[in-house]
Amino acid sequence: MKQTFPLGRVAGIRIGAHWSALIMVLLFGWVLGDQVLPSMVAHVPATARWTAAIVGALALAAALLAHELAHALTARHYGVPVRSITLWALGGVSELGDEPPSARSDFWIAVAGPAASFGAAALFGGVAAAVHAAGWPAVAVAELGWLAAMNVLLGLFNLLPGAPLDGGRVLRAALWWRCGNRARAAQSAAEAGRILGMVLAAAGVAEVLLWREAGGLWLILIGVFVANAASAEGAAERASTALAGRRVRDVMKPDPEIGATWMTVGEFFQHVALRSDQDVFPVVDAEMSLAGVVGVGGLGRIPRDRWPRTTLGQTMARVPPAYVAAPDDPAAPLLRHPPLAADLLAVVIEDRRIVGIVTRARLVRIVERERLRAPAPARDGSALAADWNPRRSEARVSRHE
């Protein structure tokens, strides 16, 4: 998820907020100022009430960040690299660079978040009691009490047993510990997440239809999100299982057609792209070294009258080092990053020569074949091509009415 507002670094981890996090803060502020505080405390001046509401909403966002930081720092403790933490409309996402190395670390990384939320709840509750005893205004006590209650809910909600929620990770760790097979444990946790998501969404629908509560809309949103994220995780897990033990050489398209920086888009379509079955092409410079990548889709969006004047060098995308592989590299890690130019996962180079490319479409096909070959096929494999998401991240949700 893209960070719209960078918020700095904590212990070297990039912290930021997606633009949709603003919606979350505004909504919490509105619920607190318009409904919660007026119902708990009578006759509060509007300025005091709305100040308390804004401070409360920001404090809740900070508590959410603490929840994610607890996951991130525990992950790092077990040697799992953490790239970033991003707050968004439905909570926070910690992007981990790798999977937890053992069932034990999986368990502790997962429970650290809810533990932090319960800790925050105790803290807010304690301060509320102290402030109440010291005779502070009732609105401050009410706000702190609400923060304590919300953090308890946050901790409990995240412990629901289905991926991608923390409870799903705990379930995965437990199954992994019991049966010793991480991939199968992850499949079961993803399946539980899909069911959990559907149950949450159904409860939301019931809330809206039977009790006419608009809060049910949130539950529907979260349910759909959980179900989708769980499906994507299951598919990514299957893909990674199918590729386990394979080398880049086994999955690449050898001797791909290539473009050159000096070719115009018109020439490239006429002489290369339209005669090829590839959708993406490496582009080389005058020394025949890799300079970039172009996709048929991207080139097709350039207006036709500019084709004779635009060169591939002007329109290609750069290829970051993570997208360059050697034939003997393992294939599974290629799934960890999103494709370039819509389809390219790696350019394969040997002796400074381009010997192959690995595309997303090709890997999806391989994974699908593998599934059909397996003795006990996964039941929900049909959604693979649509749902398959090569980005490995840990998504966390946190909202409830």
User: In whole angstroms, how close is the CB of 166 to Zn ion at the nearest point?
Assistant: 4
Q: Near Zn ion by CB under 5 A, which window of 21-29, 138-146, 338-346, 390-398?
A: 390-398
Site string for Zn ion, 95-134 (x = CB under 5 A): ------------------x---------------------
User: In whole angstroms, how close is the CB of 262 to Zn ion at the nearest point?
Assistant: 51
Measured from the CB atom, the residue of 110 and 243 that comes closer to Zn ion is: 110
Measured from the CB atom, the residue of 113 and 259 that comes closer to Zn ion is: 113
Which strand ranges, in their side-by-side order, compose the sheet holding 394-395?
5-10, 13-17, 82-88, 91-96, 394-395
Q: Which of 166, 233, 237, 343 binds Zn ion (CB under 5 A)?
A: 166
Residues 172, 102 contacting (CB under 8 angstroms): no
Measured from the CB atom, the residue of 29 and 113 that comes closer to Zn ion is: 113
Query: Residue 68 has which token pair?
Result: 């994610």
Neighbours of 275 (CB within 10 A): 9
Question: Is 67 annotated as belonging to a binding site?
Answer: yes
Is residue 396 near Zn ion by the rule CB under 5 A?
yes
The yes-or-no answer on residue 68 being catalytic is: yes
Question: Is 132 annotated as belonging to a binding site?
Answer: no
| Buried-state track 224-245, b at ≥16 Cβ within 10 A, e below 16 | ebbbbbbbbbbbbbbbbbbbee
Measured from the CB atom, the residue of 392 and 396 that comes closer to Zn ion is: 396
Q: Interface residues for Zn ion in 144-163 (CB under 5 A)?
A: 158
Q: Residues binding Zn ion: what is the number (CB under 5 A)?
A: 4
Long-range contacts (CB closer than 8 Å, 24 or more residues apart) made by 185-190: 185/103, 186/233, 186/234, 186/237, 187/234, 187/237, 187/238, 187/378, 189/162, 189/163, 190/163, 190/230, 190/231, 190/233, 190/234, 190/237
- Active-site amino acid positions: 68
In the complex, the residues that contact Zn ion under the rule CB under 5 A are 113, 158, 166, 396
